[in-house]
Structure 1
Amino acid sequence: MIDLLKNEKEFTVLFFGMLTIDILVKLYCPAYPYRYLTKPPIVLMLFFYYHFNNKEKNKKKHLWINLALLMFFIGDILIINHTNVVLLGASLLFFALGKLFLSFRFSHKFDFNISRLIPFSIIMFVYTVFIVSYLFNSLKNFFVPALISFFISLLLFQFAFLRKDAVNKISYMYVFFGVILYIICESMMAIKTFKTDLPLQDLLIMLLYGVSLYFITMGIVKERRRKIVLNPF
């Protein structure tokens, strides 16, 4: 089993096989008890893959990713019964914490060009304002939690983008692509929960969620820090 977790191709087949099973259960089976059996393994598999493959020497960064995956794991279980207001609110909290811990993990001390960040920040800010405005009348008591959650998503997006010159290209692309997919998934889930149904919503939300966490985790495992060359002048 450990050998399978250390083999990227075999793990990928296993992961997407499990994700497919969970999506089929979501579409065609009652949530209880089946989703409680098929949904938790999605994040657990990523947790163990990271554990057996990461080469992170910084213990604090190692802790951030473990905490992030733990928060997503708990959030996954709570949101299965998203019609329960208390469980829905708790799941939003844990997902927000997961994104916050990922933001901590992506932070670095490498210098960056602020002018490159501005266009992306403007785009994400406009996107966040649009989503919140669209859902405003439907959020009610969830307005503040939703606003905080989207703000943390903006923060996560920025930190993922700022990795560009600090890490190797494949790690940067994997993580950045995964974060974009997560934000799309999160927006679809918010619209579905608070506003209106969307075409193929259950299929797309679960697919985007699983794929996003896969790429983020893989990107972190593949991460290699670039050497910082100091200018003596």
Structure 2
Amino acid sequence: MKTKTFTYIFATISILEIISGMIDYREGVFLTKPLIMLSIIVFYYLQSQKSFEKQDILMLIAFTFSWLGDIFLMFSGELFFMLGLGSFMMTHLFYIFVFSRNKTKANHLARICIPILSISIFLLIYNHVEKGLLIPVLVYMLAISTMAITASERKTNTESFRFVFVGAILFVISDSFLAIEKFAYKIPASTILIMSTYILAQYFIATGFLKQSLKA
């Protein structure tokens, strides 16, 4: 599958999911949301076949945990929230491991700015989070911050670096919107903000990592 063809298919699925969420069409969300990461998994697998490596397996596992996280978070209740949180935690741990395999020198700006953003969001929602969820949420925010930092320190070609780093930052932004919306304050057009940044994050990370070895 060519990247251009995949992009059209992926964009169509994503737009349908966002519209379904905006109009509260639950059946539409249940149909399209699982297809977001599933399409990325299929595309990445097909694109990486010519030079399949261990890191590609790890990326596919990371995408699979994101797919599970998307499914769990379609349901309400603390149990499904924790399962979703745990699934995305595993995604970030796999991302961290893979990104760290090609580490260059420390990015001190990222190591300062990204934690400041995460700490600011945590302090904003702190008084609104149930005590039993404080530690899991804090640990998750630590994981996603570490993921973004490791993305900023990858030693690779310029195009791959930019795609993956932008994707990582968008992931942090998406989860920041999600945390504020879930625990603290209602955000206008939250569905568009949360899902568009999340969808673009996964797209940029997947296509960007493929460009590391010029597979896409």
Q: TM-score range by the shorter chain?
A: over 0.9
Kindly indicate whether residue 8 of structure 2 is the aligned counterpart of residue 18 of structure 1: no
Change (3 A) 1:109 1:213: closer
Per-residue deviation at 1:58? 2.9
CA distance in 2, matches of 1:113, 1:188: 30
Change (3 A) 1:107 1:24: same
CA distance in 2, matches of 1:70, 1:80: 16
User: Displaced runs of 4+ in structure 1, greater than 3 A?
Assistant: none
Residue matched to 1:167: 156
Query: Residue type matched to 2:81 in 1?
Result: L
Report how many aligned residue pairs link the two structures. 212
Per-residue deviation at 1:134? 0.8
2:23 to 19, 23, 28: 28
Q: Report % sequence identity.
A: 25
Counterparts in 2 of 1:106-185, with a 5 A limit?
106-108=99-101, 110=103, 112-114=104-106, 117-140=107-130, 141-163=132-154, 166-185=155-174
Per-residue deviation at 1:113? 2.8
Change (3 A) 1:189 1:109: closer
Contact 2:147 2:168 in 1 (8 A): yes
TM-score norm. by structure 1 comes to 0.87
Query: Residue type matched to 2:37 in 1?
Result: V
Counterparts in 2 of 1:1-233, with a 5 A limit?
6-31=1-26, 33-54=27-48, 55-59=50-54, 61-81=55-75, 83-108=76-101, 110=103, 112-114=104-106, 117-140=107-130, 141-163=132-154, 166-224=155-213
CA distance in 2, matches of 1:220, 1:80: 27
Can you give the 5+ residue segments of structure 1 that lack an aligned partner in the other structure? Answer: 1-5, 226-233
CA distance in 2, matches of 1:181, 1:109: 21
Change (3 A) 1:131 1:56: farther
Q: Which has the larger radius of gyration?
A: 1
Contact 1:128 1:150 in 2 (8 A): yes
Per-residue deviation at 1:125? 1.5
TM-score norm. by structure 2 comes to 0.93
